[in-house]
Amino acid sequence: MVIQPFSQLMLKVMECMWLALRQETLWILWKVLGQALGRAAGMAPKAFISVYKVCWKDKGCVSSNIIAGIDKAIQDGVHILQMSFGGNWLESFEADQIIVATYSAMQKGIISHTTVGNEGPNQGTLGHAAPWDIVVGVTITDRRIRATVTLSNGKQFQGGKWQSTQQHSY
């Protein structure tokens, strides 16, 4: 398995990507599909962003690829692992190889941040077995969120997003 590093030429929307941050670069010139060209600097303007693709359209997010991504990020000296994909609930961290890999990262002083889906141990709950991970619960809603953007010249644009949920955890 080859882990492809992120570069300006490879910038594209991916189904799932792995972000790892470390303090080095001042900013990134960012452009996605001809939109949002400009300097990207946020809370950590000197952050260096490393992206490791670990999920594939035909194979999904296989544990061995995710673990290889974690190992590569550790080798590259990242400070934060941002893993924006959830998984199935497991009763213990010993049963989850990915959680064991994030433990290895934590032992080296790397902060691990991940998401959980809508599958907890009981109805209406979320679950994640690793106490060393920073965990965020993720959800979507079945309503449209509207917003008006007003430009400095007074022009207004309406925007919004619509996503319908198929499963409810309540």
Q: Which tokens in the block code for residue 27? A: 């900013």
Instruction: List, in order, residues 6 or more apart from 41 with CB less than 8 Å away.
Output: 26, 27, 28
Quick one: pLDDT band at residue 127, thresholds 50, 70, 90?
Answer: low
The whole-chain average pLDDT of the chain stands at: 68
The per-residue pLDDT for range 2-47, each reduced to its tens digit, is 444 443 333 333 333 333 333 334 444 444 555 555 555 666 666 6
Quick one: pLDDT band at residue 113, thresholds 50, 70, 90?
Answer: confident
Q: Is residue 83 part of a domain?
A: yes
Q: Is residue 135 part of a domain?
A: yes
Q: Which tokens in the block code for residue 113? A: 């941040």
CA separation for the pair 51, 89 (Å, rounded) = 26
Q: How many helices (H) and strands (E) does the chain have?
A: 2, 9
Q: Helices 97-107 and 63-76 meet at what angle, rounded to 10?
A: 10
For residue 84, the one-letter residue type is S
pLDDT score at 148: 72
Cβ burial, residue 48 (10 Å; 0-12/13-18/19+): middle
Q: Is residue 153 part of a domain?
A: no
Residue 156 has pLDDT above 60, yes or no: yes
Q: Is residue 156 part of a domain?
A: no
The per-residue pLDDT for range 70-94, each reduced to its tens digit, is 999 999 999 888 887 766 656 666 7
Instruction: Identify the CATH number of the domain in which residue 33 sits.
Output: 3.40.50.200
Q: Is residue 120 part of a domain?
A: yes
pLDDT score at 109: 92
Q: Is residue 85 part of a domain?
A: yes
Quick one: pLDDT band at residue 59, thresholds 50, 70, 90?
Answer: confident
pLDDT score at 19: 39
For residue 137, the one-letter residue type is G
For the chain, what is the domain count?
A: 1
E strand spans, 74-132: 80-83, 111-116
Place of tokens 């998984």: 87
Range of the domain at 92: 8-140
Q: Model-level pTM?
A: 0.56
